[in-house]
Structure 1
Amino acid sequence: MAEIVYPPVIKTALGVFKALNIKFRLEGTEHIPRTGGAVLVSNHVSYLDFIFAGLAAHPAGRLVRFMAKKEIFDNRIAGPLMRGMHHIPVDRNAGASSYAAALKALKSGEIVGVFAEATISRSFTVKDIKSGAVRMAVASKVPLVPVAIWGPQRLWTKGRKRRLLQRGVPVTILVGEPMHPKRGDDYDQVTRDLRARMSELLEKAQREYPDVPRSDETWWQPAYLGGTAPTPEEAEKLDLEEAEARKAAREERERKKGS
């Protein structure tokens, strides 16, 4: 397929990162297949993760087609870019079509990127993940590649103001060894193994991160390292409250339309 949009976007992003003196640590890129399909599964700590997870495949000369919620494609600015980069919209009311589009991309030799936690982790630990990524890899006969990202939450994450022009923020991107699930495996167990690998990579990235938060910046550090980010249990409660508020808002909109 023609790549008119994606390469210029990458070039622009790298230029911006250089201007902002973003300090990258990128390890394990040899695990990205040089050819053929793969499911790249990353943790999710910020609204910028698709950019940084995509950079994990850049040294291999690969482009990643990310699965992202349909609402992003509906945005008048982000939408044309997402479509131009051939990312895959996910409509939660029509999940089968999104899954079919991902399988088609994988079988044609593309790398498909998945944020298996579905939403940003407020605790900055790896949330429970569903087996969709594993099932896609098995159905397409391609490897699963775990990735951990750390640092972008300082630029823009859930519940915090954007600080996109902050200079000198280190960003760590670690790529783990591929997993090769196959038909007949216990998909739930493979999913648990995948989450464990992602958690190990993320903890390594966090413990080896070169910056320590100032006393007024401990929000971006996970609780288990002494930060003031919510614990996983507190984060789950916040997520449930947010989901209930969104549901109530939708129902109110529907009620007003019907009245």
Structure 2
Amino acid sequence: MADLVYPPVIAFAKTMFRALNMKITILGEEHVPASGGAVIACNHISYLDFIFCGLGARQSRRLVRFMAKESIFRNRIGGPLMRGMHHIPVDRDAGMASYKAALAALKAGEVVGVFPEATIDQSFTIKDFKSGAVRLAAATGTPLVPMVLWGTQRFWTKGRPRDLTQRGVAITIRMGEPLHPTRKDNGDTVSAELRSRMKTMLVEVQRGYPQKPAGPDDLWWLPAHLGGTAPEPEVLEAEAQ
């Protein structure tokens, strides 16, 4: 498919990265295949995650087609961009259409990006997963690449005012060894393995992160188990019920 919108959007993003002097570290880029279909399963801690998830795949010269909420496609500014980059709208009331669109993209050799937590995790850990990423990879015989991001929440996350002007923020993007689920595999088992790998990767990235909170008022972007003030997963789960 023709990509007239994606390249200039990437160029603009890279210009902003340089202008803000971001300290971006990309690890495991060799795990994204240079050709053929693949599913990337990424954690979700920020409204900007699709930008950095896509950046991780660019090391293999791939463009990621993200599954995103249909409401974004109705936005006056975001809609034309999302459609121009051939992302896949997800209507929760008609999920089969988006699933079929993602299947078609994978069969055509595209990389499809999925946030299996479905929503931003305000605890900055790893929430329970939806099964879509595993089902897509199994149905098409494509590799399932785990990815984790860290630092993106410092710019713009759920429940916090956005601050897109911070300079020198460190961002870590890490990809792990792909899983290769098949139709014969138990989907719940594969999802549990994917989540376990991503939890391990995220903890390692968090512990190796080169920057610390500036003071007590800056502890919000750290999870509670690392001494931060982000809400515990159990608290968020109770509030959601």
Same-fold call, TM > 0.5? yes
> What is the aligned partner in structure 1 of residue 217 from structure 2?
216
> What is the aligned partner in structure 2 of residue 229 from structure 1?
230
Residues in 2 aligned to 1:207 and 1:66: alpha-carbon distance in whole angstroms: 28
> What is the aligned partner in structure 1 of residue 48 from structure 2?
48
Residues in 2 aligned to 1:125 and 1:131: alpha-carbon distance in whole angstroms: 18
Superposition pairs of residues 32-181 of structure 1, within 5 angstroms: 32-181=32-181
Overall identity of the aligned pairs, in %: 62
> Equivalent residue of 1:228, what SS?
coil
> Equivalent residue of 2:217, what SS?
coil
TM-score, normalising length: structure 1: 0.91
Moved more, 130-139 or 80-89: 130-139
TM-score, normalising length: structure 2: 0.98
Q: Once superposed, what is the RMSD of the aligned Cα atoms? A: 0.7
| Cα distance, 1:237 vs structure 2 | 2.7
Residues in 2 aligned to 1:11 and 1:71: alpha-carbon distance in whole angstroms: 25
What's the CA shift string for 1:54-94, capped at 9, x where partnerless? 01111111000000000111110111000000000000000
| Cα distance, 1:168 vs structure 2 | 0.7
Residues in 2 aligned to 1:134 and 1:235: alpha-carbon distance in whole angstroms: 25
Superposition pairs of residues 243-258 of structure 1, within 5 angstroms: none
Residues in 2 aligned to 1:134 and 1:154: alpha-carbon distance in whole angstroms: 29
What's the CA shift string for 1:165-208, capped at 9, x where partnerless? 11111000000000001121111010000000111111111110
- Structure 2 counterpart of 1:219, which letter? W
> Equivalent residue of 2:30, what SS?
helix
Alignment: residue pair count: 240
> Equivalent residue of 2:33, what SS?
coil
> What is the aligned partner in structure 2 of residue 244 from structure 1?
none
Residues in 2 aligned to 1:86 and 1:236: alpha-carbon distance in whole angstroms: 33
Runs of 4+ in 1 over 4 A off after TM superposition: none
Residues in 1 aligned to 2:235 and 2:56: alpha-carbon distance in whole angstroms: 31
> What is the aligned partner in structure 2 of residue 250 from structure 1?
none
| Cα distance, 1:42 vs structure 2 | 0.1
Residues in 2 aligned to 1:114 and 1:98: alpha-carbon distance in whole angstroms: 12
Superposition pairs of residues 193-212 of structure 1, within 5 angstroms: 193-212=193-212
Superposition pairs of residues 9-20 of structure 1, within 5 angstroms: 9-20=9-20
Residues in 1 aligned to 2:166 and 2:147: alpha-carbon distance in whole angstroms: 24
